[in-house]
Amino acid sequence: MEHLMAVILAAGEGKRMKSKKSKVLHKVCGMTLIDWVYKSVKGAGVDETVVVVGHKAEDVKESMGDKVLYAYQDKQLGTGHAVMQAKEYFEGKEGEVLVLCGDTPLITSETISKTVEIHRKNNNSATIITAELENPAGYGRIVRDENNNVLKIVEDRDATEDEKNIKEINSGMYCFNIKDLERVLGELDNNNSQGEYYLTDTIEILIKKGLKVGAVKVDDSDEILGINDRVQLSMANEILRKRILTNHMKNGVTIIDPGNTYIDADVSIGMDTVIYPGSIIEGQTEIGEDCIIGPSSRIVGSKISKGVEVKNSVVLESSIEEDTSIGPFAYIRPGSVIGKKVKIGDFVEIKKSVIGDRTKISHLTYVGDAEVGTNVNLGCGVVVVNYDGKKKNKTKIGDNCFVGCNVNLISPVEVKNNAYIAAGSTITDEVPENSLAIARARQVVKEEWVTKKGMLRKD
Ligand code: UD1
Ligand code: CA
């Protein structure tokens, strides 16, 4: 098997982002720019990826972790110099190396695969991914001879007036034969307007050695969009957002208003789920089949099983099991596990709690740090008083319990199976199995008190 490697250049500073963060760590649709590039090379079957880091190297390494190898470029002396820093990883190997930039998140696996295929089929030494742009300003231009063969790439700043009129541009992405790239990298110099070692110069050097260089022009020039500032960041976000939504729709998800739905890259959604407008689904979220999400729900890093409804609600880092209904206006906070066929109604907040199957928490309730059994009913206005001013305490409610309206459960406290608690009680002690607890003052009625005291309110 031939070896396919990728080198992703990410040492540059990205000044135009006006950011404290490394440019390649800015996110679109929940994923960093460089991760989008990585995902595409991975999808094209790359065996090994080297990221050339420099500016904010530690941050990039921390974000990417050990799924890639790293080369370090101390000073940004140009794209050719950057590739030289990764040389130790491909030296002496057979096969191809792809070179891409960490700031081009729209490139697809399909385009990369197609480039590698054409590169191999034509026995090229290098194959450049190019695009035809109405406004090619700023990009390197592909200079071809009268027979349409690639001659060289000339940088915008070094181009003649004639060359500046060329509309075919260099995307900055290439497939190189490893051995041929190795041969010519050492021959690069920095005699140009920027005093940089241009990777683009390898093309002319290869051709002068009689080696073959090809080009693959992308059909959709969006694919080569490089992100330099926040305006381009938002453009990329829009394009990727649409791509993600289109994919889900093609897989059987109904999205009522794609213009008003935001789904991150790593979200999976089952067939026949309907997403209503204003929904934002982020992080590593998994949604099953036949769910109803929205309108206006935000779900982050959660697992939502089959048949669940999440209406006008927020669910964070939690798991919701089959056929459960959440909302409208519920807030499920991190670390919660909500069982099957549960009902969590309006203005209910659940924090770091386990709720058993078929339990109903229908309105105006707070449940924090609690374990609630199956088939429990928590009445309107129940509050689990989990915080004593110093620390959080746990509450446990068994199966089949009935907790009346406006009950306070002062944690730590335990309510055993099948118990009832009268409305308005403040529970401080354990409630035994099968019992009723009433913890409130008895009602006192003073007959004729109003008339005797002359307190009748006249209209
Ligand atoms: C480069 C190409 C140009 C192409 C354009 C496409 C060269 C000389 N020119 O120009 O033909 O049209 O990309 O966007 O290659 N980087 C490093 N170390 C360096 C220099 C750059 O890691 O020393 C990285 C940057 O972080 C960036 C990428 O390489 O991710 C491209 O560098 P940049 O300076 O933006 O290249 P351009 O001038 O845009
Ligand atoms: Ca440059």
In the predicted structure, residue 1 carries a pLDDT above the cut 70:
no
Between CA 391 and CA 412 the distance in angstroms is: 11
Determine the Cα–Cα distance for residues 343 and 42; give it in Å rounded to an integer.
42
CA angle at residue 197 from 108 to 207, to 5 degrees?
70
Q: 12 in ligand 1 pocket by Cβ < 6 Å?
A: yes
Please write the tens of the pLDDT for every residue from 132-173.
Answer: 999 999 999 999 999 999 999 999 999 999 999 999 999 999
Decide whether any atom of ligand 1 lies within 6 Å of the 202 Cβ.
no
Select from 63, 41, 31, 68 the least CA-distant residue to 52: 68
Which ligand 1 atom sits closest to the C-alpha of 78? Answer: 23
Taking only the tens place, the pLDDT of each residue in 44-54 is 999 999 999 99
3-class SS at 195? coil
Mutate to test the pocket of ligand 1, among 60, 79, 85 (most ligand atoms within 8 A of CB): 79
Read off the pLDDT of residues 239-282 as tens digits, 9 standing for 90 and up: 999 999 999 999 999 999 999 999 999 999 999 999 999 999 99
Is 4 known as a binding-site position? Answer: no
Query: Is the Cβ atom of 78 under 6 angstroms away from ligand 1?
Result: yes
Over pLDDT 70: what percentage of the chain? 100
Looking at residues 11-33, what average pLDDT do you find? 95
Give CA–CA dist 369/435, Å, rounded. 24
Q: Is 294 annotated as a binding residue?
A: no
- CA-to-CA distance for 32 and 43, rounded, in angstroms? 16
Taking the C-alpha atoms of residue 321 and residue 249, their distance in angstroms, rounded to an integer, is 23
Q: C-alpha 44: how far from its chain's center? A: 20
Angle in degrees, 0-180, between the axes of helices 33-43 and 109-121, rounded to the nearest 10: 50
Distance (angstroms) between ligand 1 centre and the Cα of 201 equals 12
Ligand nearest to the CA of 34: 1
Binding site membership of 9 for ligand 1 (Cβ less than 6 Å)? yes
Give the closest ligand to the alpha carbon of residue 85. 1
Dihedral angle over CA of 254, 256, 259, 261, nearest 10: -70
**Residue 363 among the catalytic residues:** yes
Length reported for the chain: 459
What does the pLDDT read at residue 459? 87
User: Which residues are bridge partners to 415 per DSSP?
Assistant: 397, 431
15 alpha carbon to ligand 1 midpoint, in Å? 13
Half-sphere exposure of 319 (CA within 13 A, CB side): 10
Residue 2, pLDDT score: 75
> For residues 306 and 291, is the Cβ–Cβ distance under 8 A?
yes
Complete DSSP assignment for 105-122 = TT--HHHHHHHHHHHHHT
Which ligand has the nearest atom to the CA of 16?
1
Mean pLDDT of all residues in the chain? 97
Ligand 1 neighbour 237 (Cβ under 6 A) = no
* pTM for the full predicted model: 0.93
Q: Catalogue all structural domains in the chain, each as residue range(s) with its CATH number.
A: 3-224 (3.90.550.10)
**Residues 375-416: tens digit of each pLDDT:** 999 999 999 999 999 999 999 999 999 999 999 999 999 999
Pocket of ligand 1 contains residue 112 by CB under 6 Å = no
If you measure from the C-alpha of residue 433 to the centroid of ligand 2, how many angstroms do you get, rounded to a whole number? 74
In the sheet where 268-269 sits, what is the strand order?
268-269, 286-287, 303-304, 319-320, 337-338, 354-355, 370-372, 395-397, 413-415
